[in-house]
Amino acid sequence: MRKARGQINLSLIKGRKTLVLGILVLVLMGVGVFQFIPTGLVVVEGEFNFSDVIDSSFNESAEYEWVMGNFGGLKSLRLDGSATEDFVGKVYLQDGNRSYLVFDSDMLDEEGIGAVTGLVTDNSSFGDVPEIVDGKASVDSNASVDDDDNDDKSISIDVVGGGKKNVDEVFIFNLSGSFDWDVDYGKVCTRYDVNDYGICYGDNDCCAFIGMESSGNWNDSFYLTYGRYDSGFYNRIGVQVIYANYSLNISSPYSDIIYSETVSLDAEFIEERIEFKDLCMDSCLLSGLNSSSYILNVEVLSGNLDIDNVRYSIDVAVNVSNSAPVLIQPFENISISGELVINLSSYFNDSDGDVLNFSFYETDNISVYINDSMARLVVDPFSGTRFMYFRASDGYYTTVGNIFSVKYGVKKFEVSNLYGESVATVDDKGDLYLKGSVSQLDYLNATRNSFAVQNKLGETVAYINSSGHMFLLGNVTENADLDPDGIRLEFRGSEDKVVAFIDDEGNLNLKGRLIENS
């Protein structure tokens, strides 16, 4: 039996807020009873919707223990997921001796239930992909030569093939090569690598030189089907042409070996699947179920079934805030060359005084570290534009800020105070501008809402307060020769070069100057 606690995807949707308000209206009309809570919260009972991530795949019958992410009387249960076209089976919800049919493969034949889409069922990735134009990859090689007399020999190759095909289709790779000398084609071979599986086409002696047997002529088409040469859904195909003219005769050995560069292409097999969402049968309406965990009994007669999410509604009494967090000012589009600190308290507020928890939308090339209300953005170089947003939650309501763009550019590293005012910046030249001044102390205790830097032991070695004053354990070095040692925080310019850093001892090293009271 597989056991997993569902990851909770919790957000108070509009429907839930409407339900709460509706209940309050009924209470005020005398239909129900409620009590006032001194903290400004009210207790309401109602039906709430949640979603737990299951993310499990079933090729055979199994029992899955679903531990609810949110407890309460279970009122309905629905499934999201996908199945292969040949899937035959059912899913039941079990609670002790009671069983409810949730999913039946016959439902997939009903019009409007799901759409057939190409979906890869392997979570691997290729990594970096070489540039392929119009399905064709080419390379002009720098030859590898064993004899000094052949330094000017080279091989250029073009390979056509790769891409995406269904699992029952065939990839065909066609090779053409050019040699800048009068080559003897009887000494040429081609090596194909399907992931880690090698195949050789061409001259027997040439293939033997690379430890393989020949499977055909050097320029024959190469065919790949799913499962052949240990291929899977995602495959990297490497192609290299070799000229091998050599003799192992003891009395007169010689070698003339020329390699082309390796061309890499991707071959991805996809499997047609039927996607479904919010499916239920007997579990659409439930009553009398009050367990904290249930068994999903999955029966598989053929094919594959993926269950992505369990969507469910429960009866529960909760404390609900009278008001949700509000966005008090919009986030502006920004450009960053290294790092940026944003005080989220300058953008979100909760009138009930609830402690806000912040989260963010993840995007490529941007790492976000949140400490209380301070969000530190660290950017890796990229081209183009990224988009992101922040969220604020009081535990019951979640408010989403506006979407703003992030570009990699010459924007300075910046620290802002509670009012959104810039109090410290580091520019591309490594100049540090402080609204206040720098002080060196023997011991540091960072004040509230400060931007602090800590060493490996968690001790504060430097911080900038909301007034723009900087406090250090160490010293400031201007026009420094930057060779970071024991670095704790680095500031990078638009060319991704370090222009300033603070080390473990609390020393500030600047490529440029320190400008105080700016």
pLDDT for 458 equals 81
pLDDT for 26 equals 30
Chain centre to alpha carbon of residue 91: 30
Distance, CA of 147 to CA of 254 (rounded, Å): 9
Here the tokens at position 413 are 């590293």
**Residues 6 or more apart from 122 whose CB is under 8 A from it?**
232, 233, 234
> How far, CA to CA in Å, does 482 sit from each of 30, 409, 477, 487, 489?
73, 22, 10, 11, 13
Compute the chain's Rg from CA coordinates. 32
pLDDT for 38 equals 34
- The 10s digit of each residue's pLDDT in 78-107 is 999 999 888 899 999 999 999 999 999 888
Distance, CA of 263 to CA of 130 (rounded, Å): 8
Here the tokens at position 23 are 């209940």
Q: H-helix or E-strand containing 23?
A: helix 14-28
- The 10s digit of each residue's pLDDT in 329-349 is 999 888 887 788 999 999 999
From first to last of the 518 residues of the chain, give the pLDDT tens digit: 333 333 223 223 223 332 333 333 333 333 333 333 333 445 555 678 899 999 999 999 999 999 999 888 999 999 999 998 888 999 999 999 999 999 998 887 653 343 322 233 333 333 333 333 334 444 444 444 444 455 678 999 999 999 988 888 899 999 999 999 999 999 999 999 999 999 999 999 999 999 999 999 999 999 999 899 999 989 999 999 999 999 888 888 888 999 999 999 999 988 778 888 888 999 999 998 999 999 999 999 998 899 999 999 998 765 555 688 999 999 988 888 778 899 999 999 998 888 899 999 998 889 999 998 999 999 887 777 889 999 999 887 889 999 998 887 654 677 877 776 778 888 777 888 899 999 998 888 888 778 888 888 888 889 998 888 999 999 999 998 877 666 667 777 656 678 888 888 888 989 889 999 97
Distance, CA of 183 to CA of 155 (rounded, Å): 10
pLDDT for 54 equals 92
Q: Reduce the secondary structure of 308-366 to three states and give it as a string.
A: EEEEEEEEEEEEEECCCCEECCCCCCEEECCEEEEEHHHCEECCCCCCCEEEECCECCE
pLDDT for 39 equals 38
Do residues 348 and 356 touch, judged by C-beta distance below 8 A? yes
Question: Which pTM does this prediction carry?
Answer: 0.37
Here the tokens at position 499 are 């222009």
Q: Which residue has the tokens 């102390």?
A: 441
